Amino acid sequence: MSEGRSADVALLRKLSPLDGMKNDNLAALARKVSIRELPANRMLFKEGDTERRTYWLISGMVELREGERTFAMIRGGTPEARMPLSPKMPRRQAARAVDTIEYLVVDADLLDMMITWDQTGTYEVGELQAQFGSGAGGDDWMTTLLQTKAFHRIPPANIQAIFMRMQRVACRTGEVIIQQGTEGDYFYAIVSGKCVVTRETPLNREGIRLAELSIGDTFGEEALISEAKRNATITMLTDGVLMRLSKQDFRELMNESLQQWVTYPEAREIIAKGGKWLDVRLPSEFQNLAIEGALNIPLYFIRLKLATLDRNVPYVVYCDTGRRSSAGAFILLERGFDAYVLRGGLASAESELRRPG
C-alpha cells in the first residue's frame, strides 16, 4: 500500500454517506485523507477483520470473497463503488485487488464523529477558522485535536463550545507559560511555535527537560483535574500562538466527557482480559504500597514515557484518591490510549496491595 494523490471535495462528494455532508465539513475531511494505491493480487482487508476503518474503491477492480466463494466484483467509478466496501464489523468479506487499485480509507470513529457534527449542525469548520483566523500554522492545531481519539468521545455540542470559549494568546521566545508550583488556571493547545517542559528537582534547580511540544499538542490539564499545583514548567522555545481554555470550561466541557471511572471489580475484569495496572504516584509511594504487577510512572513523567506504553492494551490508572490518576488517564485518552480510572484509589483495592519484603 502506498500514499497517492490527495483527496478533494468533488471526489468525496461522489461517495456515500459523504455526499450528504456540508462543504466546509467535507473540505475538512479531505485535508485528513488521501487516495492510496494497492498493487494487483494484494489484500485490502481480510474476512473477519475488526479494524475500524471505512474503505471506498476509487479506481480499478476489487473482488469481495466470502470463504472460497466470490461474493461480488466491484469496479471503481460504478454505482456500487459509491458505497463503502464490506462496512459491517467484523468484516463479512475479504477484499482483493484484481488489478492495481486506488482506494480511500478513513478512520471509522473520525467519520462517525464528523457526520454526527454535520447532521447536528453544531460544528462548522469554516465558522471556527473564521473566528480564530488562519494565522501561523493554519488550522493544523485544530485538525490535530479533532483527530485524537479523545475528541471522538466528546459530545458534538461540547466540541464547538470548547473552540468558541478558547482565548488566543501570542507568546514570545523564552516566555514562561506555566510555572512549576503555581495553581492551575488554564488548559492550553499550541497553534504555532514550540514549548519545552521542564521539572525542577532538589538536585537540579535548572530543571530536567521532560518533553518538547509543538503544533496541536496540549498541556496544563494535570493541575486542573487533580486540584494540585503545577508539576512542571512550560516555556516557549520559539515565538508562537496558544489557545487556552479556563479551568471551569475545561472541567465542564472536556474532563467530564472523557473520564472512564471503574470500580475495583470492574477493573479486575479489565486486567483479566489483558489490561494493565498503571500507578502514577511517586516511586517512594509505589515502593511502600502498590497493586501486584502494576507499572509505576509518576504523573509528571507520563508524557516522556508514552512511547513505552502499548496502545493496544487498556490501562487502569490509580493513585491514592483518584485525583492524580484521573489526570494521568486524561493524558492517555487524549493521546489515543484506552484508559480507566480506579474509583476510590488504593483503598478500593486492599485485597491486592503488596508491601515490600
Contact 302, 222 (CB under 8 A): no
DSSP state of 351: G
Q: How far apart are CA 29 and CA 139, in angstroms?
A: 13
Rounded distance between C-alpha atoms, residue 188 and residue 247, angstroms: 10
C-alpha dist (Å) from residue 278 to 106, 314, 320, 323: 31, 10, 12, 14
Q: What is the dihedral of CA 230, 174, 144, 336, to 10 degrees?
A: -40
Please confirm, yes or no, whether 319 is among the known catalytic residues: yes
d(CA 62, CA 65): 10
Are the C-beta atoms of residues 162 and 196 closer than 8 Å to each other? Answer: no
Collapsed DSSP state (helix, strand, coil) of residue 59 = strand
130 burial via Cβ count (<10 Å: 0-12, 13-18, 19+): exposed
- All three cell numbers of 172, joined, read 514570545
User: How far is the C-alpha of 181 from the C-alpha of 357, rounded, in Å?
Assistant: 35
Preceding amide of 314 cis, omega within 30: no
Write the CB contacts of 93 (distance below 8 Å, at least 6 apart in sequence). Answer: 47, 64, 65, 66, 71, 72, 86
Separate counts of helices (H) and strands (E) for the chain: 14, 23
Distance CA 239, CA 140 (A): 17
In DSSP terms, 36 is beta-bridged to 3, 103
- Cα 98 to Cα 94: distance, rounded to the nearest angstrom: 12
Candidates 74, 197, 319, 341; catalytic one: 319
Torsion of CA 290, 296, 298, 299, to 10 degrees: -90
Is residue 286 within 8 A of residue 295, CB to CB? The reply is no
Active-site amino acid positions = 319
